[in-house]
Amino acid sequence: MLKSRKDKSSVSLVCKEWYNAERWSRRNVFIGNCYSVSPEILTQRFPNIRSVTLKGKPRFSDFNLVPANWGVDIHFWLVVFAEKYLFLEELRLKRMTVIDESLKFLVRSFPNFKAISLQNCDGFSTDGLAAIAADCKTLVFLVLCVLFRLTCELQRLRFEGVHKLFEGCSSDASLIFGEHVRIRKQLWLTSHRYRFFIIGCLVTITVSQLGALLLVLASISDKTFFNSGDLLQCS
């Protein structure tokens, strides 16, 4: 089977039989511009898609060069996907507007949904993330990437407070995340104890070296503390 998207597209142009074979066998699709094709045309072209990668605003929107509320709303795509792609498992979005209602709709519409990536997306809050954590039983992959426009640098979203979304939730995702938080705390404590151990070893070695130097100075009369660098190196 072909792996490259370009190779698959080239194969589909050979003849009608190959076109239909590629059409029905395609499981993932990449759309670099959400305005280049409609979701209706996409679902008609590829009926058995499991993974969709969709990009919205152009890259220069990261530098505030695109007006606010410019568009690229994902919701109307999800409405079409819910009708045609019932077995959708993965959704990767970049520079799209994703509101909390869209995330809740996604959880309700796709029972086998497993992975979502929101890169430089806006419009959602912790309520939408809480809906995914509580109701998406099969979710195994969640990526959030936020671009702070004031600094124009990619920053990592910290998860210190996100564990609160899972409190009181009995889903597998909550158990996995809770275990992750517990292990992370244990690693933090262990790393600090290890640092203290290393510092203690260095202090002990330094004191032992100083004691060895003083013993050497006491046995050799023509050596002093200031001209015994070679002895200190040897010790």
Residue/partner pairs of 179-185 with CB below 8 Å, 24 or more apart: none
* Residue 171, pLDDT score: 54
pLDDT at 135 over 60: yes
Q: For residue 55, what are its two tokens? A: 């990009």
* Residue 95, pLDDT score: 87
Report the distance separating Cα 228 and Cα 215, nearest Å.
12
User: What does the pLDDT look like over 52-93, one tens digit per residue?
Assistant: 999 988 877 767 777 766 777 899 999 999 999 989 989 999
Please state which CATH class domain 5-157 belongs to: alpha beta
Supply the DSSP string of 1-48, one letter for each residue. ----HHHHHHHHTT-HHHHHHHHHH--EEEES-TTSS-HHHHHHH-TT
Residue/partner pairs of 167-170 with CB below 8 Å, 24 or more apart: 169/133, 169/134
Report the distance separating Cα 97 and Cα 124, nearest Å.
8
Q: Where are the domains of the chain?
A: 5-157, 188-234
Report the distance separating Cα 19 and Cα 11, nearest Å.
7
Question: Which residues does residue 115 pair with via DSSP β-bridges, in sequence order?
Answer: 90, 141
User: What does the pLDDT look like over 158-174, one tens digit per residue?
Assistant: 444 555 555 555 555 55
CB 29 within 8 Å of CB 51:
yes
